[in-house]
Amino acid sequence: MIARRAVFAAVFGLSLAGAPVVAAAADAPALAPAPAEEASLQGFGAANPACPEWSDGCFVCARDGAGASRCSTAGIACQSQAIACRRSNAAQ
């Protein structure tokens, strides 16, 4: 019976020790900032409105019907290259 109480006390004590970490995580902002690679791709799209599709070799971004840019996710261990327009409006 004493062993059960000791185990319960240890588990209860450990659960209380993690409480400040959970409370601190609840105060964190809901949205994390975009990764630097994606932010630079978004910047390229904003600076080049005539380019309908661009890529850095990892992410591929394209404009949807409303003109908003949408980007894919990167593959495993992808190494990005210089961002370039993959398709021009003349090719449509």
Q: In angstroms, what is the C-alpha Rg of the chain?
A: 24
pLDDT of residue 73 exceeding 60, the answer is yes
The length of the chain, given as a count of residues:
92
> Hey, what amino acid is at 37?
E
Cα distances (angstroms) measured from residue 86 to each of 42, 45, 51 = 15, 12, 8
Each residue of 4-47: pLDDT tens digit? Answer: 665 555 555 545 455 454 444 556 555 555 566 566 888 999 99
Which range has the worst mean pLDDT, 9-13, 42-46, 68-72, 88-92? 9-13
Cβ-based neighbours of 14, under 8 Å, separated by 6 or more: none
Q: Which pTM was predicted?
A: 0.54
